[in-house]
Chain A
């Protein structure tokens, strides 16, 4: 028996954080009944239902394995909680290609108070596409954004990863550790999208951290992106740079045209979901990607992603 999607959506809209686990279970499910209920849930947290964009700051945190993302996140979550903000973390782990199963290990590395009901951590498997976000993760971020103050999507990788995250996040932070030359090369070669904030971890390492920070800043300047903030943080005691990072994230969000970024995210997300389900054939049937985009652009800006997918589906030959 399916959970009542509309009721869960209403609870999230009312700021009931306790509704989140059941909402996530529903959004991840692929049975026909559950998908129906998921659409009902997302309708309840659509901008049309909310009377505007969801309140949360949706932040993508991405970077290569070992860069210190989890330690950094633990410290960030503590700082946000200290400010009284509620936080949801969606931690995306890669799946085994052999068995389809996955070890969701990130939760272990996030050190937060288990009795704190203002924090939710949910591990999810990346799903079929390497480096990609499962459709359920994007839906989850949109749903949780109605109830939490901050929603973090944490993914592993550099290159494809931050592009995927950018599809749904308001702000993308790329995390690198001192001495990681790859990120520098990716930036220069244009393989990597320019992030909104760049974080160099392990500042306690001293000179090598300072040098990495300088090199990354120089690379960004040479690409004409000298305004992207590059911050050095140390999550080990004495913790340094976290307040500055919290400030830089807030500042980026403050400078955004949120409504148009989110609208673009929903429309691109709908296109991705549609393409995943119907493939190139489906896109061609609509007259190609461009035609699909202009069809989406004509729709009510308050519509949620599944409703937009339905719009595209209506364009398919019967």
Chain B
């Protein structure tokens, strides 16, 4: 199945995009939601500022979902939704809109990603603490297996683990451990059932679980990884969950190939990387992907345009229709080399699965796994910095002719109209004023009651669907549950990471930091902040670690901070410099907002920014008061640290901020 991951701006604009893609021969939909929708905030929430419509479509209520699906026959559609913390809510909206189209829930087909553990580990769009999050997932599984039998309620994601730096062994082990946690929770929820058919239903559940994996450019090893996962999955089904039907035991997965390895430097090279990565998941028939999504070549630059996405779709079509890849049985069968590679990965993965089990399972092991991923990612960066790992165009063969691809006015990316946010805010306010408020209040208090019941007697999907029907909003649904479940901040992983041993360059850097400390009278202190809802924290984590390893005091509070939170921290902590990281494209609005908040708090410390920042936005940020901007092409972190040391040094020489605000 070929799809492109799509959705942006508004439900109406996304609907037009979906229909165009369907006409071009795409089968099925893959919906991208914006960050407020993914984390359970309405467009008018303070945290949603700058994020509305940015990385996907904003869906606040059933009216938005109806507009998104207008003219698309839901009975025939296979819809994949990249939605996790708020998956129960979005599925409820989808069910209600299908109901309005006259389509019964029994015939709906599709997938909700719904994998919360990887949100805690890598992607960051969680909303509730681990235990109630797992309860929501178990409730969705129990509900769909009975009432929406063709729906895949969860897609276990190892994709994001690799993006966060996982080695192949870690990717396998953590994904399987995650699946065990989910299946155990579902087994407990489903129980024997009133009809005594619990065992049979568990078999169905097992067969409904699919994976969403990653494929990197080392495509032989990546293929072996998928074969290893298939072996482990089958074994798990037989031994732990008593599954015997071979159809249910098959390892089913979709894939998005690696984005981590895509470069901002010479971005045209990403096309061949994407092609090779696609081979990893298609070469051998025994471990071939069911559905493939390819990133766009210019993802590291900004938001791809429809044309960029078309290019990615065409890669798949060439592979499927022009090459002979689909004409052979498994071409690795009997290969000693492949078997050996698979065995090696299996051995490593089994050992790591045992470690996670010793921590009490995947939910309890989140801090352990996060720390391990941060460590692996650091190792990867070290290899690239030292040149041990070659990245063509980035740390080798860096000379280049001028690229005609990125020469147009907008630099070859899509820019979302800032008016979208204001429009959505008006829309949700209008929606709230026009609905039957009494019915909404009643539905939300029924939801709160069901959530509060610790024995969980009522499946949460039932009051959730009722609230969707009554016209509640995404923010209201999530707030109701946050009030009962409490809020949560995931571990950052940086505290667990071991200190780096010094090498020559790092030792030299420590010397520079030490000299700065003598001049300042205090150890240089940096605040690393992630404003907005963007949960991609790998970059911020690596900056925080390197700052510590070079001898600075580092305040890192993790993701999802408002400008006022960042300003309060900067003031109270008396930091010498502030580093902001942002990858969601909301920097144009959020960075000036943070700088504004800092000024209001009386903080004069300089600000540097890192992330996916298109070159044409740099002047805007600089005129807002940003001292320096770093993008993925600045892979040498020690160099960034040296810049920061120099910046703080010259700033204190000017006497403006060495002692923060008075």
The answer to whether A and B belong to the same complex is yes
Which residues of A come within 8 Å of B, CB atoms? Answer: 1-3, 8, 20-22, 24-26, 28-31, 34, 96-105, 107-109, 111, 114-115, 120-123, 125, 236-237
Q: Which residues of A contact B510 (CB under 8 A)?
A: 99-100
Q: Does B501 contact A (CB under 8 A)?
A: yes
For B495, the closest partner residue in chain A by CB is A105
How far is B129's CA from A64's CA once the two chains are assembled, in angstroms? 22
Q: Which of A100, A103, A125 contacts B556 (CB 8 A)?
A: A103
How far is B660's CA from A123's CA once the two chains are assembled, in angstroms? 15
Query: Looking at B485, B544, B549, B659, which has the most chain A CB atoms within 10 Å of its CB?
Result: B659
Q: Which of A98, A103, A120 contacts B501 (CB 8 A)?
A: A98
B382 CB, min distance to chain A CBs, angstroms: 15
How far is B520's CA from A76's CA once the two chains are assembled, in angstroms? 35
List 16 A-B residue pairs with CB atoms under 8 Å apart, sorted by A's residue number.
A21-B571, A22-B659, A25-B660, A29-B521, A29-B659, A97-B499, A98-B501, A99-B550, A100-B551, A101-B523, A101-B549, A105-B556, A107-B555, A115-B564, A236-B129, A237-B484
How far is B359's CA from A317's CA once the two chains are assembled, in angstroms? 58
For A99, the closest partner residue in chain B by CB is B551
A108 touches B499 (CB 8 A): no
How far is B544's CA from A56's CA once the two chains are assembled, in angstroms? 34
Q: List B532-558 residues whose CB lies under 8 Å from chain A.
A: 544-545, 547-558
For B574, the closest partner residue in chain A by CB is A25
How far is B553's CA from A103's CA once the two chains are assembled, in angstroms? 6
Q: Which of B65-73, B402-410, B486-494 sits within the interface?
A: B486-494
Q: Which residues of B contact A114 (CB under 8 A)?
A: 562, 564-565, 567-569
How far is B551's CA from A158's CA once the two chains are assembled, in angstroms? 26
How far is B656's CA from A1's CA once the two chains are assembled, in angstroms? 10
B553 touches A104 (CB 8 A): yes
Q: Which residues of A contact B521 (CB under 8 A)?
A: 28-31, 34
Q: Does B661 contact A (CB under 8 A)?
A: yes
Q: Which residues of A contact B661 (CB under 8 A)?
A: 21-22
A236 touches B486 (CB 8 A): yes
How far is B569's CA from A115's CA once the two chains are assembled, in angstroms? 11
A24 CB, min distance to chain B CBs, angstroms: 6
Q: Which residues of B contact A26 (CB under 8 A)?
A: 659
A96 touches B571 (CB 8 A): no
Q: List B156-172 residues whose CB lies under 8 Å from chain A.
A: none
Interface string of B513-526 (1 = CB under 8 A from A): 11000001111000
Given contacts A34-B521, A237-B484, contact A22 B495 (CB under 8 A): no
User: Range of interface residues on chain B?
Assistant: 35 or more
B303 CB, min distance to chain A CBs, angstroms: 29
A125 touches B523 (CB 8 A): yes
How far is B652's CA from A2's CA once the two chains are assembled, in angstroms? 12
Q: Which of B501, B520, B662 contacts A22 (CB 8 A)?
A: B662
A156 CB, min distance to chain B CBs, angstroms: 11
For A97, the closest partner residue in chain B by CB is B499
A108 touches B523 (CB 8 A): no
Q: Which residues of A contact B574 (CB under 8 A)?
A: 21-22, 24-25, 28, 122
Q: Does B573 contact A (CB under 8 A)?
A: yes
Q: Which of A21, A96, A111 contacts B549 (CB 8 A)?
A: A96
Q: Does B246 contact A (CB under 8 A)?
A: no
A93 CB, min distance to chain B CBs, angstroms: 8
How far is B500's CA from A96's CA once the two chains are assembled, in angstroms? 10
Q: List B561-591 residues whose CB lies under 8 Å from chain A.
A: 562, 564-565, 567-569, 571-574
Q: Which residues of A contact B196 (CB under 8 A)?
A: none
For A239, the closest partner residue in chain B by CB is B486
Q: A20-B572, A98-B502, A111-B487 are in contact. List 18 more A-B contacts (CB 8 A).
A: A21-B573, A22-B659, A26-B659, A29-B521, A30-B521, A31-B521, A96-B499, A97-B499, A101-B513, A101-B552, A102-B554, A103-B494, A103-B544, A104-B556, A108-B558, A114-B567, A121-B572, A123-B573
Q: Does B655 contact A (CB under 8 A)?
A: yes
Given contacts A30-B522, A104-B555, A108-B558, contact A98 B499 (CB under 8 A): yes
B556 touches A102 (CB 8 A): no
For A116, the closest partner residue in chain B by CB is B568
How far is B525's CA from A107's CA once the two chains are assembled, in angstroms? 14
B371 CB, min distance to chain A CBs, angstroms: 12
Interface string of B494-512 (1 = CB under 8 A from A): 1100011110000000100
Given contacts A96-B499, A99-B550, contact A107 B659 (CB under 8 A): no
B555 touches A123 (CB 8 A): yes
How far is B572's CA from A123's CA once the two chains are assembled, in angstroms? 9
How far is B328's CA from A156's CA once the two chains are assembled, in angstroms? 61
How far is B522's CA from A120's CA once the two chains are assembled, in angstroms? 20
Q: Which residues of A contact B129 (CB under 8 A)?
A: 236
Q: Which residues of A contact B489 (CB under 8 A)?
A: 108-109, 111
